[in-house]
Amino acid sequence: MKSMKLYDNVRRIHNELAALGISPDAALRVDQLTPFDQYHYFGTDAVDEALEALDLQPGSRVLDIGSGIGGPARYIAAKTGAHVTALELQPDLNEVARDLTARCGLSSRIEHVCGDILDGAGAQNYDAIISFLCFLHIQDRRKLLAACRAALKPAGTMYIEDYGKPRAFSVAEAEALLVKVQCPFVPKPGEYESHLLDAGFADVAMSDVTEHWRAFTVSRLAMFRGQRARNVGVHGAAIVDGLDDFYGTVAKLFQAGAITGLKIIAR
Ligand SMILES: C[S@@+](CC[C@H](N)C(=O)[O-])C[C@H]1O[C@@H](n2cnc3c(N)ncnc32)[C@H](O)[C@@H]1O
């Protein structure tokens, strides 16, 4: 996973907090973290879109699959009062997530679990599943979707952001996806829906958001490069070079029309 540079040196968020003059043990507000803790596109705006689709109430139970350093989980718990199980594969991301959640005073509403969704999700009967840019890391979609179906209440709703495959990849694109984006499988048009229906989901609604994600990833790269001197001052050159390579790889894949952006709701 660490050949995807977004996941290397995840403690770099502490460099950003230090640059804001926030000491390592200080209490935090969720809004102080959201510029740095959302590992998907369009930050909390994208999470708000999910919330509109999910109608969560205080006490609703949400499973966040691939919760990263906990950005979406904290935002949802703070905004809705829902209880979130934040399931994350990588131990270092999970540790950073748990620490930031505690510093935000949200530990009673968010349970951080380090594990693999392919091993099942533990407690069942969730009202909702959210998953932002995690499924693209998982090859075995049948096993993944069976685990999701088993984790949800019968009337539950799942909200996914993921990639789709609009055309065959060149050798270089397939290599970049596999190594630098850790993306071993991308579903073709129609394939996603049939996997969901086969797993027992219904009312599948898919939106193609490719143009938005292309614009976002291109401008993210330009902004990051425009602030290189500042970023090197905060993080050091090695971290900045790694992120530059990752942001550049993703922008190039969108610009070449190699991947599509998908938002999926299924019940
Ligand atoms: C692009 S990050 C997004 C993190 C978070 N959803 C967000 O938007 O801030 C995808 C995350 O999924 C996690 N992940 C990948 N495969 C997983 C699996 N099989 N089970 C649980 N988490 C997984 C990765 O470790 C990574 O932290």
User: Is 9 contained in some domain?
Assistant: yes
Q: What is the pLDDT of residues 110-141, one digit of tens each?
A: 999 999 999 987 657 999 999 999 999 999 99
Residue carrying the six token digits 């996603």: 192
Ligand 1, residues at Cβ distance < 6 Å: 1, 38-40, 65-68, 71-72, 87-90, 93, 116-118, 132-134, 137-138
User: Looking at residue 189, what is its pLDDT?
Assistant: 86
User: Looking at residue 123, what is its pLDDT?
Assistant: 59
| pLDDT (average), residues 13-33 | 96
User: Is 248 contained in some domain?
Assistant: no
**CB atoms < 10 A from the CB of 28, how many?**
19
Number of domains in the chain: 1
Task: Give 46's DSSP letter.
Answer: H
Closest C-alpha to ligand 1, atom 10: 134
User: Is 243 contained in some domain?
Assistant: no
Domain with 58, as residue range(s), is 5-168+184-210+259-266
Long-range contacts, stretch 240-249, CB < 8 angstroms, 24+ apart:
242/5, 242/8, 242/9, 243/5, 243/6, 245/5, 245/180, 246/4, 246/5, 246/6, 246/180, 246/181, 247/217, 247/220, 247/221, 248/221, 249/176, 249/180, 249/181
| pLDDT (average), residues 19-35 | 96
pTM value is 0.97
pLDDT mean across residues, the chain: 97
- What are residue 61's DSSP bridge partners? 83
- Give the integer Cα–Cα distance in Å for 31 and 8: 23
User: Is 152 contained in some domain?
Assistant: yes
The CATH code of the domain that includes 48 is 3.40.50.150
Q: In the predicted model, is pLDDT for residue 159 greater than 90? A: yes
- Give the integer Cα–Cα distance in Å for 217 and 181: 13
Closest C-alpha to ligand 1, atom 22: 66
Q: Determine the 3-state secondary structure of 135 from DSSP.
A: helix
User: Is 239 contained in some domain?
Assistant: no
User: Looking at residue 121, what is its pLDDT?
Assistant: 73
Give the whole-number percent of the chain exceeding pLDDT 70: 99
- Give the integer Cα–Cα distance in Å for 198 and 261: 22
| pLDDT (average), residues 86-113 | 98
User: Looking at residue 122, what is its pLDDT?
Assistant: 63
As a dihedral over the C-alpha atoms of residue 186, residue 195, residue 42, residue 118, rounded to 10 degrees, the angle is -80
Q: Which atom of ligand 1 is nearest to the CA of 70?
A: 9
User: Is 124 contained in some domain?
Assistant: yes
Q: What is the pLDDT of residues 222-234, one digit of tens each?
A: 999 999 999 999 9
**What is the distance in A from the centroid of ligand 1 to the CA of 113?**
12
**What is the distance in A from the centroid of ligand 1 to the CA of 136?**
9
